[in-house]
Amino acid sequence: MDSQSHYFDEDPTVPSENFTVDLVLPDLTATLRTSSGIFSSKKIDPGTKYLLQHAPRPDATVKTALDLGCGYGPIARTLCHRFPEAQIWATDINSRARSLTIENVGAFGANVEHPDHIDEDIRFDLIWSNPPIRIGKSKLYTMLDLWLQRLSDDGEAILVVQKHLGADSLAKWLDKVSYNVQRLSSKSGYRLLKVTVK
């Protein structure tokens, strides 16, 4: 079994041990509560930080934004800061992750929900995600296609994926199934991809 599989459990059985991590960006410094049983619980994941440092500001107005696979909420916290007028959503299958995200970003007006509880009619102008590659290709592709279909007409998704974990094959698959994919940058083994609907 993958040693990280508990990150993707709805109700992790790993004993809860609490930590704090500092999110430090050029425009934002925040301390976030984390816990065992959550992805990258003792530090901001390098891929997530790469996305937050290099994701471009969209040309179109952002009225709705989604942190897909939010963990304890560093992406959601940044979205709240950079798009204060937008309706921010964060979702994760892991109940412990959602509880922590509520603690970390609830005061900023973010909506934190189980994936099944977000209204299917909502369309997102922006999706940011460090997607859970380790759930397996089939589940990952199904998840991404489900949420990318919810982009607005002018919406865009910014994904960060490690090259050795399949960033290039993911980009090819997205292109094949009706999305435009642009590699924005690449550094230290990470690819930053911009995805829009064809």
2-42 pLDDT tens trace: 334 444 555 555 767 899 999 999 999 999 999 988 888 78
> How high does pLDDT run on average in the chain?
91
Cα 61 versus chain centre, distance: 20
pLDDT digits (tens, 9 = 90+) for 35-61: 988 888 789 999 999 999 999 999 899
Give the chain's domain count. Answer: 1
pLDDT attached to residue 36: 83
Type and span of the H or E element at 48: helix 46-54
Distance CA 21, CA 29 (A): 11
Q: Model-level pTM? A: 0.91
Domain extent, residue 117, equals 5-197
Distance CA 50, CA 187 (A): 9
Distance CA 51, CA 17 (A): 27
pLDDT attached to residue 3: 38
Q: What is the CATH number of the domain that holds 27?
A: 3.40.50.150
pLDDT digits (tens, 9 = 90+) for 144-193: 999 999 999 999 999 999 988 889 999 999 999 989 999 999 999 999 99
Distance CA 4, CA 36 (A): 11
The answer to whether the beta carbons of residues 126 and 156 sit under 8 Å apart is: yes
